[in-house]
A and B are shown apart, each in its own frame.
Chain A
Amino acid sequence: EVQLLESGGGLVQPGGSLRLSCVASGFTFRTYTMSWVRQPPGKGLEWVSAISGSGATTYYRDSVKGRFTISRDNSKNTLHMQLNSLRLEDTATYYCAKWIPNYFGLDVWGHGTTVTVSS
């Protein structure tokens, strides 16, 4: 069964850091581009970042550039995102998701992990 399982969310103060992880199973992880998508409480979906299968290419939305870092460990079938300098507006459920090749869509999603930034 194709599956993604996120972890690492929690409560953090503004300016703090967290590291999110997503363990993949049921598919050849290293061959697929992966992304993080977030959803603030009661609001819509927001694409955050993407990383190519090899890890050589990364993309970010402007609001997280320089603060968030996406990475992957293909030997452990794991996707990460380091969240630094967290802001109140980063509060959200963070989903990891797998791309259909050629960016045709996100066909597998995890259940999400919740990040709460609050003082």
Chain B
Amino acid sequence: DIQMTQSPSSLSASVGDRVTITCRAGRSISSYLSWYLQTPGRAPKLLIYFASNLQNGVPSRFSGSGSGTDFTLTISDLQPEDFGTYYCQQTDITPYNFGQGTKLYI
């Protein structure tokens, strides 16, 4: 199985800040990496797919980069609706494991 490790596990930020979350895969996954945001009581929402592609309807303040084993999600100009838990997921090979999550809070 490919283990996915996110850092940090939690992060405090303010509206207007720029934040970066990293995700490391246990072995190379090319660009098969997705990012999701889950807010309390809601289902996850896809933000970025194939490492750097912005999902339809997702604001351009979200961006993704990386390939191989190291990936980053950057959020510029944080908005109140951006607070929640972020997950990465490798979609290269089953089981399509998620990272443990990064909780972004005020």
A binds B: yes
A residues adjacent to B (C-beta < 8 A): 35, 37, 44-47, 50, 59, 61-62, 95, 100, 103-107, 109-112
- B: number of interface residues (CB 8 Å): 27
B:53-85 near A, CB below 8 Å: 53, 55, 85
Contacting A103 at CB < 8 Å: which of B91, B95, B100? B91
Number of A-B pairs whose CB atoms are under 8 Å?
66
Main secondary structure of the interface of A (DSSP, over half): strand
A112 to B95, CA, bound (A): 20
Main secondary structure of the interface of B (DSSP, over half): loop
A47 to B98, CA, bound (A): 7
Q: Chain A nearest CB: distance from B26 CB in Å?
A: 15
A45 to B38, CA, bound (A): 10
